Amino acid sequence: MPILVVGAAGYIGSHIAHALVERGESVVAVDDLSTGSSQRLGRLPLHRIDVTSAEAVGALSELMLEKQVDGVIHLAARKAVGESTREPLLYYSHNIDGVVNVAAAMAAAGVRQVVLSSTAAVYGESGEAPLTEDAPTNPINPYGRSKLVGEWVLGDSAAAYGLRAASLRYFNVAGAGDRALADRGLTNLIPLVVDAAQRGSAVEIFGDDFPTPDGTCVRDYVHVADVAAAHLAVLDRLRNAREPHRVYNIGGGRVERSRSGGRCPAGELPSCRISDGVQAPR
């Protein structure tokens, strides 16, 4: 049955779309191309819809019915921490309205399974290592707060409308399954470092007094192909899920402690968080 991928032309979304195609699934790709690129989709048809718009619910529900969509993977959101502190209303409207409209369209079209790409930033500056799904959520910026509210919207919608939903929380994604799918956004650390290397310039490091072996932060990175695989695995599990909404942490599976057991603050790049507070879903 077809799977609708919202944000399919983005860095992570395109990897998920191609992973679905590779295993024989039919993909319905949705993106407004505000940050994504249609070139990442190759021959896969693109349905250009702004899921935050007033027309989104009708357009999405019609598309779901037309294509007989069986499940949704929702990735479309704004994600720059610094921008979220400068433009909090932009983040609350985009990241929450998008979830509201996708859930409303699913309820109208009778689609039951949905996986939300969330963020481990919902945990804030937790002192726990490793982080588990039961850790307290206390996001410290509008980006993290907007994503947490999106999770609440999805959970409440699942309970009310008979959906089966999951929210995936992870920190930093890196790598590429193919050169055409590479991350080109300079708000992410690895593209920023590569760009600096190509220009022959230095990368500025913010902070050298963190309680880590070299004084700088340690981050948890997960390869984008593994993140895509996690979305697919959770989507498959939803078909037999009993609970309306469940949270999964996605991470590299390693815990690196600093000499004093301290933490790096979550914040705008290139500030960092201690490596791996999160575990891959089982």
Residue 46 corresponds to which amino acid? Answer: L
- Give the Cα separation of 136 and 84 in Å (integer): 22
pTM of the model: 0.84
Rg (CA), the chain: 18
| Digitized pLDDT (tens) for each residue of the chain, 282 residues in all | 899 999 999 999 999 999 999 999 999 999 999 988 899 999 999 999 999 999 999 999 999 999 999 999 999 999 888 899 999 999 999 999 999 999 999 999 999 999 999 999 999 886 666 778 999 999 999 999 999 999 999 999 999 999 999 999 998 887 776 767 666 765 666 677 777 787 888 777 767 787 777 787 776 778 899 999 999 999 999 988 889 999 999 987 654 443 334 444 433 322 333 233 333 332
- Please list the helix, strand and coil fractions of the chain in percent, rounded to the nearest 5, in that order: 40, 15, 50
The 10 Å Cβ neighbour count of residue 89 is 9
Counting Cα atoms < 13 Å in the Cβ hemisphere of 69 gives 29
Helix or strand (DSSP H, E) at 26: none
Domains of the chain with bracketed CATH:
3-173+221-249 (3.40.50.720)
Catalytic residue among 11, 92, 123, 143: 143
143 carries an active-site annotation: yes
Listed in sequence order, the DSSP H helices in the chain are 11-22, 56-67, 81-86, 88-109, 142-161, 189-199, 224-238
